[in-house]
């Protein structure tokens, strides 16, 4: 059901959740490449049996760049830069459809919620690029030490943020779980098992570390009790799961 992997020191989680939940271009992964050959190597592998959104070529923002969707529907932006980055790849959130023009607001929103957060850079679309004045062409921001990127797009895409791609927040205790849940569900939407959508429709999983412990013990019966209790919840309540285990 769940597989955790690590790529270049960064953790990703993959779930089997059925065809109704699919990733799309509203969230892509920007891969920072040290050489042009590295861009080409990733391009060849990731575009195989996938789709090319922007051809491998030289662009004003990079001497070697491509945007591809791999065979599983995950979107990758392959970017050559002479600048060295601490983080090999970063999620890129695209604010489009009903969210178009809200990127700047969202940057302030996310960085106000998480500690150790800040907006690092904002690049507006220039006149003549086909975007409304004030729309953001590219931005970089940090939430709790993790680098993300974001942009606006006024083009007519037939999709928006979905559960196909989410961000996981691992919390240390119930107080922290309550804090992020309450902040991110404000004008948003609660879902089951610690899932929620914020006011932009972006999905988050607010997951207490204690939950992982309680569902991964050496006792299969206790694991099932903990898991069954979690399935009945929206926000995760640790004491209730602990009570279910001991009942």
- pLDDT at 128 (0 to 100): 79
Confidence of residue 130 (pLDDT cuts 50, 70, 90): confident
Q: Label residue 142 by pLDDT band (50, 70, 90).
A: very high
pLDDT of residue 129: 81
Length of the chain: 247
Q: What is the pLDDT of residue 241?
A: 96
pLDDT at 86: 85
In angstroms, the CA 78 to CA 40 distance is: 9
Spans of all domains in the chain: 21-152, 166-245
pLDDT digits (tens, 9 = 90+) for 71-128: 999 999 999 998 888 899 999 999 999 999 999 999 999 999 999 999 999 999 988 7
- The pLDDT, as a whole number, for residue 16 is 84
- State CA 71 to chain mean position distance: 19
Q: Which residues contact 240 (CB under 8 A, 6 or more apart)?
A: 229, 233
Domains 21-152 and 166-245 are alike in CATH topology: no
Query: For residue 197, which of 187, 208, 207 has the smallest C-alpha distance?
Result: 187
Cα separation values, 77 from 28, 64, 174, Å: 7, 11, 37
pTM: 0.93
Residues of the chain with pLDDT > 90, as a percent, come to: 83
In the DSSP assignment, the letter for residue 24 is -
pLDDT in tens, 170-208: 999 999 999 999 999 999 999 999 999 999 999 999 999
Question: Please, which pLDDT band fits residue 247 given cuts at 50, 70 and 90?
Answer: confident
pLDDT tens sequence across 202-223: 999 999 999 999 999 999 999 9
Residues sharing a CB contact under 8 Å with residue 19, sequence separation 6 or more, in sequence order: none
CA distance 57 to 39: 10
- Alpha-carbon distance of 164 to 24, in angstroms, equals 7
- Evaluate whether 117 touches 110 at the Cβ level (below 8 Å): yes
The per-residue pLDDT of the chain, averaged, comes to 94
Residue 151 has pLDDT above 80, yes or no: yes
For the structural domain made of 166-245, what CATH number should be given?
3.10.180.10
Position 195 scores a pLDDT of 97
Q: Which helix (H) or strand (E) holds 240?
A: helix 238-245
Q: Residue 110: which H helix or E strand, with range?
A: helix 103-113
Upper half-sphere CA count for residue 60 (Cβ side, 13 Å): 4
CATH label, 21-152, candidates 3.30.720.110, 3.40.50.2300, 3.40.1180.10, 3.30.300.130: 3.30.720.110
- Tell me the C-alpha distance between 33 and 11, whole Å: 18
């Amino acid at each position: 059901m769940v597989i955790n992997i690590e790529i270049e020191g960064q953790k990703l989680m993959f779930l089997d959740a059925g065809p109704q939940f699919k990733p799309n271009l509203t969230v892509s992964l920007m891969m920072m490449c040290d050489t042009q050959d590295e861009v080409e190597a990733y391009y060849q592998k990731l575009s195989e049996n996938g789709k090319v959104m922007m051809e491998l070529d030289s662009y004003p923002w990079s001497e070697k760049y491509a945007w591809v969707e791999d065979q599983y529907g995950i979107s990758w932006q392959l970017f050559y830069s002479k600048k060295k980055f601490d983080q090999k790849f970063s999620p890129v959130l695209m604010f489009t459809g009903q969210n178009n023009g809200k990127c700047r607001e969202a940057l302030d929103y996310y960085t106000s919620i998480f500690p150790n957060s800040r907006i690092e850079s904002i690049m507006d679309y220039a006149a003549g690029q086909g975007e409304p004045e004030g729309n953001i062409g590219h931005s970089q921001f940090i939430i709790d030490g993790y680098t993300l990127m974001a942009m606006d797009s006024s083009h007519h895409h037939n999709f928006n943020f979905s559960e196909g791609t989410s961000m996981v927040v691992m919390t240390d205790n119930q107080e922290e779980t309550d804090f992020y849940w309450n902040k991110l569900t404000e004008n948003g939407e609660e879902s089951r098992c610690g899932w929620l959508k914020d006011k932009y429709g972006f999905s988050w999983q607010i997951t207490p570390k204690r939950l992982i412990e309680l569902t991964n013990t050496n006792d299969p019966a206790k694991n099932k009790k903990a898991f069954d209790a979690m399935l009945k919840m929206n926000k995760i309540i640790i004491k209730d799961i602990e009570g279910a285990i001991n009942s």
